[in-house]
């Protein structure tokens, strides 16, 4: 299911675990669609400028070509026969375009050159044995740039084991729920049957099923549940990156990212202490907890809140109950949506700090197929400040797509950087792909080894670079303290203060529009107005927190706010903004602001 996100919305493990979460989200969407009666209208035809005999203009031609490039980038590759992602050795899968007519109409040669590689990256004319197989596809895109994709297949063993037969029954413990319509209560058995019929087919007839089986065949027992970075999907990322480095001759360009530097004097870490040490009023925790408790009771949406000042934890508490009725706990892990962009910017700043990549480098400095000195190729700074010309909020598979940068290249001839501000996640995904090539590690491992593990995080799922991280309130709090410390935490300096300052918002100008706004690199100014303040006031006296308060919004209603002047951090994780968020969120921030001692 595609997730859709907006910018500053202040409203408000294992593979099987992830599959269950995704299944529940998809099921909710499917049922909502089935229960919604949509009015029927005559089909509408979109007429682009310059069509239907209208006089073509340069603007209409540009728009037409952009639409065509976007349409080609969205084309999918499938197997010619169903059930061949997982195949019998000797029966080579045939890869075809799902919509070959559109591909040809857009000007591409539908014929593809396919090369086959085993798990050790040895090339064969066709798959010969059981196990993992990578298909490397090459061609030419309509704009004349190279076309590259790679896919995962799995060859079944010649003798299948018979001593173990898995039970693939799907359990939906919270469906349909007490508040569900009566029709769902009465027909829930049908929904269960459908889910159980679909699951085996979805696994056996998909690339995700093939990479899961390939990973399970290659893994050794761990003696404990696998972490996210030990998943079949992460292992698959490793294989595709290794193949790309080999076939494109990029191994010699790998420059390892060094671990954080040890500080002479440790930086502030989150810790227990007195409210006086934190510079907070004696009743600060009581007041903040009271409003959070009332918030959760009123809306029925559970969450975890962390507030700290000067490193002292003022409150770190869970509120509300989980779907089973049990009290929520502080280790509640939630999808933080676009706060993931901030996490990616903090990680990428380490590459900048170590001079492996510069903010103003064009993408061609890392991606070899991109034309050098071409104004249509954005810089990394433009990717982070939303002036790259790229559009999208999760399309094309994000950083987990092995050849995301190639998909973007296939439309680079119509790209227009630095023309307007357009909020997009695609630039962050490209930054993650650049980190992969520079460090020689898949993006999931770069996040884990150079940010999450040094900061002592738990098992953090990171599905993409712009909108799909899952964190606890404490983990967000540690990242917030990292920001408050200007790039350090405890004994480690991840980046210098000078590099950190480059992340902060600054006036953003584009040629056609002049001054647009202040925009940072993964960070925005966060301004919460006092109740009596004029609308949209930026006057310091009208703000709850200092003018140097940064953070990022979240479609899921999670909170990430850092007041750099007051050394105050506020984080909150929740699955949804919940009802009446527009009422409770201001009240919550007003309570926190009032709890700060004068």
* 445-476 confidence digits (pLDDT tens): 999 999 999 999 999 999 999 999 999 999 99
pLDDT at 17: 43
CATH, domain range 335-357+443-595 = 3.40.710.10
pLDDT in tens, 502-545: 999 999 888 766 677 889 999 999 999 999 998 888 899 999 99
Alpha carbon distance 289, 305 (integer Å): 9
User: Residue 107 half-sphere exposure, CB side, CA atoms within 13 Å?
Assistant: 12
Say if residue 502 is exposed, middle or buried (CB neighbours under 10 Å; 0-12, 13-18, 19+). Answer: middle
Q: What is the pLDDT of residues 193-222, one digit of tens each?
A: 888 888 888 888 899 999 999 999 999 999
What's the burial of 212, exposed, middle or buried (CB within 10 Å: 0-12/13-18/19+)? buried
Looking at the DSSP bridge assignments, the partners of residue 570 are 307, 561
In angstroms, how far is CA 221 from the centroid of its own chain?
A: 29
pLDDT of residue 513: 66
Q: Where are the domains of the chain?
A: 14-28+77-249, 335-357+443-595
Sequential DSSP letters for 412-479:
GGG--TTS-----SHHHHHHHHHHHHHHTS-HHHHHIIIIITTTT-----B--TTT-BEE-HHHHHHH
Segment 485-510, tens digit of pLDDT: 999 999 999 999 999 999 999 998 88
Residue with tokens 């309570």: 591
Sheet of strand 123-124, all strands in order from the earlier edge strand to the far edge:
86-87, 146-155, 131-140, 113-118, 123-124
Q: Tell me: the pLDDT tens digits for 243-289?
A: 999 999 999 999 999 999 999 999 999 999 999 999 999 999 999 99
3-state helix, strand and coil shares in percent for the chain, rounded to the nearest 5: 35, 15, 45
pTM for the model: 0.88
pLDDT given for residue 47 in this prediction = 39
Query: SS3 for 110-137, per residue?
Result: CCCEEEEEECCCCEECCCCCCEEEEEEE
Q: How far is CA 254 from CA 20, 260, 276, 530, in A?
A: 37, 19, 50, 50
How confident is residue 1, by pLDDT bands cut at 50, 70 and 90?
very low
- Residue 98: CB atoms within 10 A of its CB come to 10
227 pLDDT exceeds 50?
A: yes
Predicted confidence (pLDDT) per residue in 337-373, tens digit: 999 999 999 999 999 999 999 999 999 999 999 999 9
């Amino acid at each position: 299911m595609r997730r859709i996100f907006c910018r500053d919305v202040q409203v408000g493990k294992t593979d099987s675990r992830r599959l269950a979460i995704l299944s529940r989200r998809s099921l909710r969407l499917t049922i909502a669609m089935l229960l919604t009666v949509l009015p029927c209208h005559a089909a509408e035809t979109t007429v682009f400028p310059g069509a239907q005999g209208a006089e073509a203009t340069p603007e209409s031609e540009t728009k037409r070509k952009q639409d065509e490039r976007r349409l080609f980038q969205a084309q999918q590759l499938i197997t010619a026969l169903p059930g061949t992602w997982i195949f019998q050795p000797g029966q080579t899968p045939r890869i075809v375009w799902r919509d070959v007519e559109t591909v040809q109409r857009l000007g591409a040669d539908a014929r593809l050159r396919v090369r086959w590689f085993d798990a050790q990256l040895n090339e064969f004319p066709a798959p010969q044995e059981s196990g993992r197989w990578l298909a490397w596809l090459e061609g030419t895109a309509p704009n004349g740039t190279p076309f590259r994709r790679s896919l995962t297949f799995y060859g079944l063993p010649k003798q299948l084991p018979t001593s173990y037969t898995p039970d693939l029954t799907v359990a939906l413990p919270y469906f349909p729920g007490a508040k569900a319509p009566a029709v769902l209560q009465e027909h829930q058995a049908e929904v269960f049957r459908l889910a159980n019929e679909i699951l085996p087919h979805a696994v056996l007839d998909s690339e995700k099923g093939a990479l899961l089986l390939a990973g399970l065949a290659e893994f050794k027992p761990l003696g404990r549940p696998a972490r996210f970075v030990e998943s079949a999907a992460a292992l698959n990322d490793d294989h595709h990156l290794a193949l790309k480095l080999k076939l494109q001759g990029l191994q010699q360009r790998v420059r390892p990212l060094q671990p954080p530097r040890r500080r002479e004097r440790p930086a502030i870490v989150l810790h227990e202490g007195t409210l006086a040490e934190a510079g907070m009023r004696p009743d600060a925790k009581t007041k903040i907890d009271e409003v959070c408790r009332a918030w959760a009771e009123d809306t029925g949406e559970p969450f975890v809140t962390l507030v700290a000042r000067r490193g002292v934890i003022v409150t770190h508490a869970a509120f509300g109950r989980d779907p089973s009725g049990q009290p929520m706990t502080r280790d509640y892990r939630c999808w933080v949506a676009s706060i993931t962009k901030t996490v990616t910017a903090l990680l990428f700043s380490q590459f900048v700090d170590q001079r492996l990549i510069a903010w103003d480098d064009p993408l061609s400095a890392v991606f070899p197929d991109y034309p050098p000195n071409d104004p249509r190729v954005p810089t990394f700074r433009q990717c982070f400040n939303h002036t790259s010309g790229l559009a999208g909020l999760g399309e094309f598979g994000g950083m987990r797509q092995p050849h995301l940068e190639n998909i973007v290249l296939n439309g680079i001839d119509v790209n227009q950087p630095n023309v307007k501000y357009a909020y997009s996640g695609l630039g962050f995904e490209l930054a993650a792909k650049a980190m992969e090539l520079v460090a020689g590690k898949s993006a999931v491992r770069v996040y884990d080894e150079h940010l999450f593990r040094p900061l002592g995080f738990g098992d953090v799922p990171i599905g993409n670079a712009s909108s799909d991280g899952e964190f606890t309130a404490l983990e967000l709090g540690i990242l917030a303290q990292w920001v408050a410390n200007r790039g350090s935490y405890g004994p480690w300096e991840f980046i210098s203060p000078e590099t950190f300052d480059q992340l902060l918002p600054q006036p953003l100008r584009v040629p056609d529009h002049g001054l647009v706004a202040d925009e940072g690199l993964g960070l925005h100014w966060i301004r919460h107005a006092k109740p009596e303040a004029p609308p949209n006031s930026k006057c310091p006296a009208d703000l709850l927190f200092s003018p140097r308060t940064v953070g990022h919004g979240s479609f899921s209603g999670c909170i990430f706010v850092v007041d750099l002047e007051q050394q105050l951090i506020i984080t909150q994780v929740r699955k949804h903004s919940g009802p009446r968020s527009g009422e409770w969120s201001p009240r919550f921030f007003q309570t926190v602001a009032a709890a700060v001692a004068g």
